[in-house]
Amino acid sequence: MIKIAIVEDNAEERQLIKSFIERYGKEQNISCKADLYTDGDEIVEGARAGYDLIIMDIELPLLNGMEAAEQIRAADRDVAIIFTTHNPNYAIRGYKVQALDYLLKPVSYNAFEDVMERALRQRVENSKKFIRVRIRSGTVKLDTSKIRYVDVLDHYICYHTSEADIKTKGSMREAVQALEGEPFFQCNKAFLVNLAYVDGMTGNDIIVGTERIPVSRARKKAFLQAMNEYLTR
């Protein structure tokens, strides 16, 4: 679900944006939840709810949209902020608060659709997690979603990604810590597998593409439970 805040003191324009969100959600088959606010001070307090996107008028009566955005950005660097305004000159000031875009009033659905697509792309990028791995030539940044599995042998970690195998000095403990919070399961002392790449299981082997990764008998039940939780989350 995409959580969106609409901050607009004009009731008609507020409902227009809400109707655009509902239409976009139906057309794209995306679940969207929109909360309505009428002033900047309200959204500064409400932003603690953790929105994915804030669509905010700049010309608000008490705390204007730009000032509200500055306070929100100080606490949340990732939320996408889109301004609505009658004055295109405000677009330049939007860079100070890393605004994703602005919509010129009266807002058309086509313009709204374009900025929504940008906001969703940014949301995907923000959800990615990267780890830095030392290699002989320096360091490389790995997208954890592209790591299929990890194995450790003779004090070396090998990250098997969908693009290449990256080898570095380290221990299983270091690999587990680096990937904490991501959908990885430790099959045994030597292997971590990304649950997103599991194709099946045969006996005590986990199938990842053409690879067969052994899971210890002691860990098999826990693996099946972790896999079930991942698939039904």
Report the pLDDT value the prediction gives residue 128, as an integer from 0 to 100. Answer: 72
Distance CA 187, CA 196 (A): 14
Q: Give pTM, 2 decimals.
A: 0.61
Query: Number of structural domains, the chain?
Result: 2
Report the pLDDT value the prediction gives residue 225, as an integer from 0 to 100. Answer: 95
Mean of per-residue pLDDT scores for the chain: 91
Residue type, 153: L
- Given 127, 152, 185, which residue is the final one in a domain? 127
For 178-210, write each residue's pLDDT tens digit. Answer: 999 899 999 999 999 999 999 999 999 999 999
E-strand ranges in 69-126 read: 80-85, 101-104
Both tokens assigned to 58: 């700049």
135 and 227: one domain?
A: yes
- Given 127, 145, 160, which residue is the final one in a domain? 127
For 66-111, write each residue's pLDDT tens digit. Answer: 999 999 988 888 889 999 998 877 665 655 678 888 899 999 999 9
115 and 101: one domain?
A: yes
92 and 104: one domain?
A: yes
77 and 32: one domain?
A: yes
Whether residue 174 is predicted with pLDDT greater than 80 in this model: the reply is yes
94 and 161: one domain?
A: no
Phi-psi region of 177 (alpha: psi -120 to 50; beta: other; left: phi over 0): alpha
Query: What totals of helices (H) and strands (E) does the chain contain, helices first?
Result: 7, 15
Residue type, 74: A
| Alpha-carbon torsion, ordered 19, 7, 104, 114, to 10 deg | -50
Q: Domain holding 210: CATH number? A: 2.40.50.1020
27 and 96: one domain?
A: yes
Distance CA 154, CA 136 (A): 17
12 and 111: one domain?
A: yes
204 and 143: one domain?
A: yes
pLDDT (average), residues 50-78: 91
155 and 73: one domain?
A: no
Is the separation of the CB atoms in 34 and 23 below 8 Å? Answer: no
Lowest mean per-residue pLDDT among 38-42, 140-144, 189-193, 209-213: 140-144
93 and 74: one domain?
A: yes
Is the separation of the CB atoms in 61 and 31 below 8 Å? Answer: no
- Given 127, 144, 177, which residue is the final one in a domain? 127
57 and 161: one domain?
A: no
Q: Domain holding 50: CATH number? A: 3.40.50.2300
163-166 long-range contacts, CB within 8 A, separation 24+: 166/133, 166/135, 166/140, 166/142
Residue indicated by tokens 């500055």: 70
94 and 18: one domain?
A: yes
Is the separation of the CB atoms in 70 and 96 below 8 Å? Answer: yes
Whether residue 127 is predicted with pLDDT greater than 90 in this model: the reply is no
Q: Residue 74 is part of which domain span?
A: 2-127
